[in-house]
Structure 1
Amino acid sequence: MKQGAVAAGHPETARAAAMVLENGGNAFDAALAAFLASCVAEPVLSSLGGGGFLLARPAGRPPKVLDFFVQTPRRKLRESACDFRPVTADFGTTTQQFHAGFAAMAVPGAVRGVFDAHAALGRMPLKELAEPARMLARDGLTVNPQQAYVFSVVKAILALSADSRALFFRRSDDGTVSDTPLQAGDTFRHPLLADVLDALTHEGPDLFYRGEIARALTDAHAEHGGHLTAEDLRTYRTHIRDPLSVKHDDITIHTNPPPSSGGTLIAFGLEMLRGQALHKLAWGSRAQRRLLARVMDLTGAARATLEVQHGDEWRDRLLDPALLETWRSQIEGRASAYRGTTHISVVDAAGNAAALTVSNGEGSGWMIPGTGIIMNNMLGEEDLLPGGGGPGGPDWLSWPTDSRMTSMMAPTLAIHRDGGEWVLGSGGSRRIRSALLQVLANLFTYGMPLDDAITAPRLHCENGRLSLECDLPDGLAEEWRDPVLWPERNMYFGGVHAVQRTRSGGLDAFADPRRDGAALIV
């Protein structure tokens, strides 16, 4: 009998989940083990210094979302006192500016989230769930081409501190740290993190939020120009929310609700496609891509407009039926003139389903002393801050204090009326919403099998700028300002990892090759 299926962003991440399933753990145990392993195998994208969301559907019960995303600090330093540094990530075909340093760090929720999810949903001891990650960190693993590429993209951030350089850069023959990040085939070891995982599973989350690790973090912030205080850590809590649920033809889609943005924007995109006869447009045709691009562009415009009018309440207004009709009417005839995340999908034989999306941004370039925990740079993420959805960009110190930050992350569960279900999510900054929208359309409008739905070339449009994978259909070049063509599939367009359970109980799993994903059925 099959124990379950997993799809994740790295073979070792997926293997950790599979080991847990084989040893009698449930889908939630497996997802937590995979997350901890991803902190070693995907160290730029995933960290105990970041946060995330778990959409959990226990068998026979309605789904819930555990929100352990980052929180803004309770105080805000004056700009002149902040350690806040602009850095450029180089994707090869395009670049994107981020900010790093101490003042870019938000209150991390990952550790609290792991313990709270385990207490509510887990079956196996947490120490056993952490063992695959601890072994990876202690023994090391070979850097694969995808992770080497990620290191090269954020090289400028990884070079910001001596601890980070020592972890992520090659050493010269004389033992000094070179200027070259680790390459494919090199060995990556993280022994400090192995020790911290062992300590956390013995001492509990207070070690991180009240104890020695908390003191190391807040002392450094006081010294180096960061916002975080002991009260920020001591008062952090996981929030449990009902998912945002929408109907789309024969499918009910459950995804991340407000205050996060991604789920709402995906639901908006699906509503914009309703009535547009997408199924009559040949997949990959100019007309099909044109419609998708316009829907994506309208989604960004709707967010920007409502954010100006209503501030943070825009998420509660975007799906208003009258407003939807106003925006839907602009699809035809409309003149046509980015984030470090990973995802884990798991189902088990008992009927449990887990969609876990986590992020550390691109990292702040700094690790908590003596722990190997890489801190996030969420306060340096344009798309998470007020104004970040529009062309004018954000005011970097405009964030409200002591507030759960928004996110594009959208762990998702789709259930067909015949009982089949799909568990999926994606990394990819602003491209999360467009990646998931296209995969959902491929699955449910075009009837593609799971692998084809994920590997099909994607596009993304925002602020009037169109980016496409693989080819540019005739005519679109004239309709969009300076379209960007990516000759091959690229991690820029997200990384959708998904598992499927058919109505008869059959399992399938597929992980996005754009992020060197891995899928296992055990």
Structure 2
Amino acid sequence: MGRLSCGVAAGHALTVDAALEALKDGGSAVDAAIAGLWTACVCEPVLASPGGGGFMTVGVGARTDCLDFFVETPNERPSGRIDAHGIEADFGNATQAFTIGAGTSAVPGMVPGLFAAHARYGRLPMKALVAYAASAARDGVRLTAYQAYLISVVSPILTATKGAKALFAGPDGEGTLGEGALFHNSDLADALEEIAGEGEASVHDGEIARLMLRAQEDGGVLTAAALSGYRPVWRDPIAEKIAGHTVYLNPPPSAGGTLIGHMIEGNGGAADGPSMAAAMARTDTAWTGAGRSLDRFLGKDVRRRSAPRGTTHISVVDRDGMAVAITVSNGEGNGIVVPGCGFMINNMLGEDDVNPAGPEDWTPGIRLSSMMAPTLARRADGAITVLGSGGSNRIRSAIYQVLMRHLAGGLPLQAAVEAPRLHVEDGFLDFEEGLPGGERDRLIDRFRDHRTWDEPNMFFGGVHAVECLPDGHVEGAGDPRRAGVFQGLA
């Protein structure tokens, strides 16, 4: 590939291409990430949407900032009927229940968040950053095997309403679009251009907000006041040490960074499988003992709730050394396409781990939490690494293992990402085959309840990472478990 001066790692080739185009045009790493995420809304539609939210960690010089633009509960409870109903998603070897409907949507933060990031760190006009995505949406994108699989898994959501079927149903009106199908979404192109032209006001009290509220008319919980009142929050990261290197993690009220930090603190710097599994087990025991409540885990009120799944990530380093990691989610989508906009609002209030009692039971005005943990590491030699992952509860273990193998174990970044992965939860160990024999034996001896995976699997997340070395050379890794792609520019 030759010597690179900037690079992008993400979950789809078009997401990466859009980000690289922004870098070619002189944009910052944040510009590139924003362009990539608008395009992810087109080519990764199950994972990214203007109706979702996320988190960003960015490094500029010696400064590291975190931006929380995740979803929050509406500012008041509705008095009428709440539209919420269950579906089952089929993963092949297992099924999982989800709740969808207008009443499952929390207040989205995606658009305000990307504008907040752009206001502080952007260079190019937002209209330029949506251009690639809008063009791709109008021209159509070929569905990859991974995206077609995700669409098939949540097909009950993507065919739940007439508007959703119009976007995702197969050519005969049955099933969903498969691998290689050309996916068009001209309404999303129009919506993105409206957002770029009107700014974040478009989702506060503009045309996009009006259309989102229209999609909430029958049993929804979002209000004009909730949309207009949403604000992203800048926060200071958590800082931890690994073998003399400093790692910056997503802070509360999100849970992911805190749990990664707990694993790092309890590890002692060891990068072998059994030691990492032991740290995971200790953290999971403490987390479970606290009732999976960050309030009790930390011993203070951080005003949070637990988090959903269905995530994608982008990491970028630009020629000036700015480094950014952004992870976003739309849950699985609420099943209702916003009229004329080509996207679904999230279904976060319908997630069991957010509201065990159901979407009728939530506290108004609460910023929800997440396992999402965009991460930045500053090595002692001056190198800077940004990384993140999708994967629900496996996000924390995936990022933790890559950090330990790379920073403490000395593995190159790509090797650290591709190394066999493991996860411990509720005393049960899942692990990919390929660990050294001695490590494997020790793991099985320690965890009698376990399951082996013969091949690397998306179950263990998808860590997409980029690193700027002390001499300015950029390297990166896209996780093959989730169709990851890395590309750079000379």
1:493 to 449, 452, 460: 460
1:55 to 52, 57, 61: 57
Deviation at 1:394, TM superposition (A): 6.1
Deviation at 1:152, TM superposition (A): 1.7
C-alpha RMSD of matched pairs (Å): 2.2
2:420 to 457, 470, 488: 457
Spell out the pairing of 1:218-237 with structure 2 (5 A cutoff): 218-221=213-216, 223-237=217-231
Number of the residue aligned with 1:508: 475
Number of the residue aligned with 2:304: none
Number of the residue aligned with 1:313: 295
Number of the residue aligned with 2:364: 401
Normalised by the length of structure 1, the TM-score is 0.86
Contact 1:106 1:378 in 2 (8 A): yes
- Structure 1, residues 272-311: CA drift from partner, whole Å, max 9, x if none? 1126xx35xxx5xxxx34x433432332231232347xx5
1:357 to 318, 327, 333: 327
The one-letter code matched in structure 2 to 1:501 is: C
Query: SS at 2:194's partner residue?
Result: helix
Q: Which runs of 5+ in 1 are unaligned?
A: 319-337, 386-392
Q: Which range moves more in the overlay, 376-385 or 254-263?
A: 376-385
- Structure 1, residues 482-513: CA drift from partner, whole Å, max 9, x if none? 53333322222111000011122211011111
Spell out the pairing of 1:219-368 with structure 2 (5 A cutoff): 219-221=214-216, 223-274=217-268, 278-279=270-271, 283=272, 288-289=273-274, 291-307=275-291, 312-314=294-296, 316-317=298-299, 339-368=309-338
Deviation at 1:209, TM superposition (A): 1.6
Number of the residue aligned with 1:71: 72
The one-letter code matched in structure 1 to 2:33 is: A
Number of the residue aligned with 1:423: 386
Change (3 A) 1:220 1:42: closer
Change (3 A) 1:265 1:466: same
Number of the residue aligned with 2:103: 103
Change (3 A) 1:517 1:271: same
Query: SS at 2:7's partner residue?
Result: strand
Deviation at 1:464, TM superposition (A): 2.5
Deviation at 1:396, TM superposition (A): 5.1
d(CA) in 2 for partners of 1:312 and 1:185? 43
Aligned residues: 476
Deviation at 1:477, TM superposition (A): 5.7
Contact 1:434 1:460 in 2 (8 A): yes
- Structure 1, residues 322-357: CA drift from partner, whole Å, max 9, x if none? xxxxxxxxxxxxxxxx71101110111112111111
Deviation at 1:208, TM superposition (A): 1.8
d(CA) in 1 for partners of 2:486 and 2:299? 37
Normalised by the length of structure 2, the TM-score is 0.92
Query: SS at 1:224's partner residue?
Result: coil
The one-letter code matched in structure 1 to 2:220 is: G
Deviation at 1:76, TM superposition (A): 2.8
Contact 1:34 1:344 in 2 (8 A): yes
- Structure 1, residues 161-194: CA drift from partner, whole Å, max 9, x if none? 111122112121xxxx11x221111111111001
d(CA) in 1 for partners of 2:88 and 2:433? 25
Change (3 A) 1:307 1:87: same
d(CA) in 2 for partners of 1:475 and 1:255? 30
Deviation at 1:459, TM superposition (A): 1.6
Identity %: 45
d(CA) in 2 for partners of 1:105 and 1:2? 42
d(CA) in 2 for partners of 1:505 and 1:208? 39
d(CA) in 2 for partners of 1:475 and 1:243? 35
Deviation at 1:471, TM superposition (A): 6.5
Query: SS at 1:64's partner residue?
Result: strand
Number of the residue aligned with 1:13: 15
Number of the residue aligned with 1:196: 191
